[in-house]
């Protein structure tokens, strides 16, 4: 007994010593409230070195896991854009040298790799991401290290960061045009189906607010986790609710299960059409003829007739490992690389503060495959044309609606009186 | 198997402590030190798995559940600390007008949070263990049950996006109990706390293994009925080991949050729980250092090989796992002893103690 208690004493003592040692070191760190005094708000000096003949950039997408099927295309088109820019002489005369990292469809991995790219590889900017969850994992890390992140996928808006540039659509460039289209079609009863994560939940919160203004009744709302494909019981609820239209915010392969359950339940494009915000040229073939006649809201379609689109499609078809079709997210990723080039050349520097200053003082534009886009230097989003397409028998989209001019980005929906001001204030406050 | 001398293990812990607490902060970059901190968190959970599985014979396939209790308790506190008087930003996004969920409220208190990190896993593992061990649930049934719990909890978190952050998880923590997390000095402190806790856990199991309880635990693993006939209740012995392993998983989870800066259901679900087991098996589940070193090696492989060869690294891990299970049932840490034994008695192979024990378990 006595030896045991003696041993226990040694144990407790050692533990206490270790913990005390750790806590003693804490003496030098900044406490809440004195961020400005010590380190807190001022990130460590950047280790980016562009004195040589190259500039290092980081590419971060899921090359493994459930999102790999979509994100590999984005990653691949980033390589294509970098190759094109290098063939044209690089950025500020420096060739792009890229470091590819795998986010592995795991949000903490996105955070870890962002930190690695910024502090170990010392890249000047990071390109990539797809899901909003991955962006939300990257955001605090790029902000902490004062890096730059270019995010290429349409998303739910209500966000802005001095360290992120968004080249996909925000809600007023995709969701709101889709709702306007539905209202014009005379839709009165709408059903919301989405994956259970941040984008569909937030998009549907906005859709419900706007639907009330448009006089469209939301007759149901169903969510299924991203990695689940069985939609049978949810589709039964859709059949029972008898909507005029279904607003689909399902992401990834779960769409295949949804469309299958939809057809098995006897629903068709003629009776209960679907408008999607995540089904593009890449995804449509996986769903075969069953998706023909359905709608999608995007800014870019392969079928768009713009001056730069034919060349973009041609280059992509020739590119190694290319999927052969072009789509909105990959086009936005392509834009992001050229936008960065334009920004750096306007700033005359790769320095983050100078790039951000150049965004505010210059009009940065790019003749993108979707049409000419212009950067808003204040909210770091770009202007975009709105388009609604209808899927035809070749899994391409026939354009059935286009916005009469490019839509300026409005991530916090400040120009829309139906979006409650107190919610906007809460969100901007929470964003700090 | 010859028993290693206790002072040898203790000085081993000493060397490990010096490496982690003194050498690593001096030689590693901030990024790799932070990664090492993350591996330490997995290693803390792994030490517990070593106790429950390696010594106790309970294949705990759902340690993610207890990892989650610690991690989410910590993450809720840090989220509230960052939000201040406001409702956390992600909640506003999904349902702008609803108040803070009731169960979040107590996590405003630092004291309650620390208490929860310790008490929640102890209570849950205590209840669960009592119900299972008293009914003599063991072997594959126990393993499947714990695994199912991890799947259920991950699904529950994914589907309650407004209450728990869902699949996106909780992230963007600015403060750690009043310390600014962005400050490198504070990051170092958080790392040192995790490393120190790992050393404390190693000391705790070192002490347990050489105590009478440690002997009873191994006896229960190898011949539960005999232990019962000797007048002990094996259920109580297993319960203690299970509760301690749950507590360690929770501590690992709690430290994971300030170090990694994000927690999601993927880190606590079935795959994550199995990966924890994989590290322990690789290292050597019944040894003192095997579980911790194995977990750290798997973590390092994920960061390092996952970078250079993303598509290939899981195959390497799988292959290594198969090789170890087939040829080295006591893990990589049994290699030195094997070599020594082979040199002494070239003809005789050391008995695979655990394999025999498990065979008996399957038979019973």
CATH 3.40.50.2300 positions along chain A are: 54-169+306-384, 172-298+389-423
Is pLDDT of B338 > 50? yes
Q: Mean pLDDT score of chain B, rounded to an integer?
A: 90
Distance between CA atoms of A172 and A406, rounded to whole angstroms? 11
Q: What is the pLDDT of residues A357-403, one digit of tens each?
A: 999 999 999 999 999 999 999 999 999 999 999 999 999 999 999 99
pLDDT at A2: 46
Lowest mean pLDDT among A17-21, A55-59, A423-427, B246-250: A17-21
Asked if B243 contacts B213 with a C-beta cutoff of 8 angstroms, the reply is no
Element (H, E) at A127: strand A125-128
Element (H, E) at A61: strand A54-61
Q: What is the pLDDT of residues A314-338, one digit of tens each?
A: 999 999 988 889 999 999 999 999 9
- Measure the CA angle with vertex A385, ends A383 and A391; round to 5°: 140
Is pLDDT of A36 > 60? no
Which chain A residues touch B193 with a CB distance below 8 Å? 19, 22-23
Q: Is A289 helix (H, G, I), strand (E, B) or coil?
A: helix
Closest-CA residue of chain A to B262: A108
Average the pLDDT over A194-212 and give the result. Answer: 93
Helix A254-264 and helix A232-241: axis angle, to 10°? 50
pLDDT at A414: 95
pLDDT at A43: 54
- Measure the CA angle with vertex A287, ends A286 and A288; round to 5°: 95
Domain assignment of residue B109, yes or no: yes
Average the pLDDT over B217-229 and give the result. Answer: 95
Distance between CA atoms of B75 and A136, rounded to whole angstroms? 15
Is pLDDT of A299 > 60? yes
**Which of B13, B182, B210, B247 is the best mutation test for A, with the most CBs of A within 10 A?**
B182
| Contact at CB, B94 and A29, closer than 8 angstroms | no
Domain assignment of residue B253, yes or no: yes
Average the pLDDT over B129-136 and give the result. Answer: 95
Q: What CA–CA distances, in Å, run from B220 to A245, B53, B231, B235, B354?
A: 63, 12, 12, 9, 13
Average the pLDDT over A76-91 and give the result. Answer: 97
Domain assignment of residue B1, yes or no: no
Q: Which is it for the CA torsion A356, A361, A366, A372, positive or negative?
A: positive
pLDDT at A265: 95
List, as one string, the DSSP characters of A363-388. --EEEETTEEEEB-TTT-BB-B--EE
pLDDT at B78: 97
Phi, psi of B135, deg, nearest 5: -90, 5
Total number of domains constituting chain B: 1
pLDDT at B89: 83
Could you list the beta-strand ranges (E) of A202-288: 217-224, 245-249, 274-276
Contacting residues for B43 by C-beta, under 8 A, at least 6 apart? B198, B252, B291, B292, B293, B295, B296, B299
Q: What is the pLDDT of residues B42-55, one digit of tens each?
A: 999 999 999 999 99
In B171-190, the residues whose Cβ lies within 8 Å of chain A are 171-173, 175, 178-180, 182-186, 188-189
In terms of CATH, what superfamily is A54-169+306-384? Response regulator (3.40.50.2300)
Distance between CA atoms of B82 and B78, rounded to whole angstroms? 6
Element (H, E) at A245: strand A245-249
- Cβ contacts below 8 Å, chain A against chain B, sum to 198
Q: What is the pLDDT of residues A252-270, one digit of tens each?
A: 888 999 999 999 999 999 9
Q: What is the pLDDT of residues B297-334, one digit of tens each?
A: 999 999 998 888 888 888 888 898 888 888 888 888 88
Average the pLDDT over B246-273 and give the result. Answer: 96
The burial of A335, by beta-carbon neighbours within 10 Å (0-12 exposed, 13-18 middle, 19 or more buried), is given as: buried
| Contact at CB, B307 and A144, closer than 8 angstroms | no
* Three-class SS of B242-279: HHHHHHHHHHHHHHHHHHHCEECHHHCCHHHHHHHHHH
pLDDT at B86: 85
**What residue numbers bound the domain in which B235 lies?**
6-363
pLDDT at B362: 43
Domain assignment of residue B126, yes or no: yes
Question: Largest alpha-carbon pair distance within chain A?
Answer: 88
Average the pLDDT over A128-157 and give the result. Answer: 95
Element (H, E) at A210: helix A198-214
In terms of CATH, what superfamily is A172-298+389-423? Response regulator (3.40.50.2300)
Structure confidence at residue A6 as a pLDDT band (50, 70, 90): low
Domain assignment of residue B358, yes or no: yes
Structure tokens at A5: 């208690």
Q: What is the pTM of this model?
A: 0.91
pLDDT at B344: 77
pLDDT at A40: 42
Closest-CA residue of chain B to A39: B183
Average the pLDDT over A165-180 and give the result. Answer: 97
Average the pLDDT over A159-186 and give the result. Answer: 96
**Which of B180, B212, B261 is the best mutation test for A, with the most CBs of A within 10 A?**
B180
pLDDT at A257: 93
Is pLDDT of B4 > 80? no
- Would an 8 Å CB–CB cutoff place B303 in contact with chain A? yes
Q: Mean pLDDT score of chain A, rounded to an integer?
A: 90
Lowest mean pLDDT among A50-54, B48-52, B236-240, B311-315: B311-315
Q: What is the pLDDT of residues B134-184, one digit of tens each?
A: 999 988 999 999 999 999 999 999 989 989 999 999 999 999 999 999 899
- Which DSSP state fits A31? B
Distance between CA atoms of B86 and B113, rounded to whole angstroms? 19
Locus of tokens 């080295």: B328
- Which DSSP state fits A124? S
Q: How many CA atoms lie within 13 A of A103 on its CB side?
A: 32
Structure tokens at A12: 């407790």
Structure tokens at B298: 């798997």
Q: Is A157 helix (H, G, I), strand (E, B) or coil?
A: coil
Structure tokens at A38: 């010590």
In A9-38, the residues whose Cβ lies within 8 Å of chain B are 11, 14-15, 18-19, 21-23, 25-26, 28-32, 34-35, 38
Is pLDDT of A341 > 50? yes
Domain assignment of residue B268, yes or no: yes
Strands A295-298, A387-391: pairing is antiparallel
pLDDT at A39: 41
Distance between CA atoms of A424 and B1, rounded to whole angstroms? 67
Is pLDDT of A238 > 70? yes
Closest-CA residue of chain A to B31: A116
Structure confidence at residue A12 as a pLDDT band (50, 70, 90): low
pLDDT at B291: 97
């Amino acid at each position: 007994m006595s030896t045991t208690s003696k041993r226990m004493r040694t144990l407790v003592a050692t533990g206490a010593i270790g913990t005390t040692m750790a806590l003693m070191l804490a003496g030098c760190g900044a406490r809440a409230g004195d961020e400005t005094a010590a380190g807190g708000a001022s990130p460590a000096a950047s280790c980016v070195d562009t004195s040589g003949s190259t500039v290092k950039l980081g590419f971060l997408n899921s090359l493994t896991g459930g999102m790999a099927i979509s994100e590999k295309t984005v990653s691949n088109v980033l390589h294509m854009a970098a190759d094109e820019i290098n063939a044209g002489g690089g950025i500020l005369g420096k060739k792009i040298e890229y470091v590819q990292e795998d986010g592995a469809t795991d949000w903490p991995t996105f955070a870890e790799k962002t930190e690695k790219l910024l502090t170990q590889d010392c890249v000047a900017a990071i390109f990539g991401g797809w899901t909003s969850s991955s962006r939300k994992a990257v955001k605090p890390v790029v902000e902490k290290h004062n890096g730059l992140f270019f995010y290429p996928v349409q998303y739910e808006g209500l966000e802005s960061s001095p360290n992120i540039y968004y080249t996909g659509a925000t809600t007023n460039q995709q969701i709101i045009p889709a709702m306007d289209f539905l209202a014009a079609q005379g839709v009165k009863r709408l059903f919301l189906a989405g994956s259970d994560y941040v984008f569909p939940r937030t998009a549907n919160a906005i859709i419900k607010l706007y639907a009330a203004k448009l006089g469209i009744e939301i007759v149901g709302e169903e969510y299924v986790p991203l990695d689940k494909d069985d939609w049978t019981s949810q589709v039964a609820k859709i059949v029972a609710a008898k909507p005029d239209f279904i607003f689909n915010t399902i992401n990834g392969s779960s769409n295949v299960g949804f469309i299958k359950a939809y057809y098995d339940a006897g629903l068709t494009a003629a009776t209960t059409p679907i408008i999607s915000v995540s089904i593009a040229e890449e995804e449509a073939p996986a769903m075969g003829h069953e998706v023909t006649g359905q709608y999608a809201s995007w800014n870019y379609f392969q079928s768009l007739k713009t001056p730069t689109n034919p060349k973009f499609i041609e280059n992509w078809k020739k590119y190694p490992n290319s999927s052969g079709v072009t789509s909105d997210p990959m086009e936005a990723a392509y834009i992001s690389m050229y936008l960065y080039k334009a920004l750096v050349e306007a700033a005359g520097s790769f320095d983050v503060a100078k790039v951000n200053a150049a965004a505010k003082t210059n009009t940065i534009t790019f003749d993108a495959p979707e049409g000419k886009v212009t950067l808003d230097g204040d909210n770091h989003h770009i202007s975009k044309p709105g388009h609604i397409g209808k899927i035809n028998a070749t899994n391409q989209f026939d354009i059935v609606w286009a916005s009469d001019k490019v839509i300026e980005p409005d991530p916090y929906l400040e120009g829309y009186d139906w979006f409650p001001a107190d919610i906007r204030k809460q969100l901007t406050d929470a964003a700090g | 198997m010859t028993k290693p001398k206790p002072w040898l293990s203790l000085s081993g812990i000493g060397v490990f402590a010096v490496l982690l607490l003194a050498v690593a902060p001096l030689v590693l970059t901030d990024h790799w030190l932070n990664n090492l901190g993350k591996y330490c968190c997995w290693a803390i959970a792994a030490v517990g798995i070593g106790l429950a599985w390696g010594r106790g014979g309970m294949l705990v396939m759902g340690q993610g559940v207890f990892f989650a209790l610690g991690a989410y308790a910590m993450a809720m506190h840090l989220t509230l600390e960052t939000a201040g008087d406001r409702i956390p930003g992600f909640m506003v996004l999904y349902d702008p007008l609803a108040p803070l969920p009731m169960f979040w409220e107590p996590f405003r208190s630092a004291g309650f949070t620390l208490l929860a990190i310790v008490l929640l896993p102890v209570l849950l593992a205590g209840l669960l263990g009592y119900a299972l061990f008293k009914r003599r649930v063991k072997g594959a049934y126990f393993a499947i049950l714990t695994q199912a719990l991890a799947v259920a909890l991950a699904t529950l978190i994914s589907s309650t996006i407004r209450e728990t952050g869902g699949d996106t998880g909780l992230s963007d923590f600015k403060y750690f109990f009043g310390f600014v997390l962005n400050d490198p000095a504070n990051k170092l402190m958080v790392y040192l706390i995790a490393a120190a806790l790992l050393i404390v856990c190693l000391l705790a199991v070192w002490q347990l293994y050489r105590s009478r309880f440690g002997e009873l635990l191994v006896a229960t693993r190898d011949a539960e009925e005999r232990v019962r006939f000797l007048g002990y209740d094996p259920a109580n012995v297993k319960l203690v080991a299970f509760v301690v392993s749950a507590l360690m998983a929770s501590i690992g989870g709690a430290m994971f949050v300030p170090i990694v800066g994000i927690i999601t259901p993927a880190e606590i679900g079935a795959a994550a729980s199995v990966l924890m087991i994989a590290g322990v098996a690789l290292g050597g589940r019944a040894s003192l250092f095997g579980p911790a070193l194995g977990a750290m090696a798997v973590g390092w492989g994920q960061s390092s090989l996952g970078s250079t060869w993303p598509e290939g690294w899981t195959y390497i891990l799988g292959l290594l796992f198969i090789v170890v299970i087939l040829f080295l049932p006591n893990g990589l840490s049994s290699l030195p002893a094997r070599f020594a034994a082979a040199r002494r008695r070239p003809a005789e192979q050391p008995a695979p103690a655990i394999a025999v024990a498990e065979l008996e378990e399957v038979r019973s």
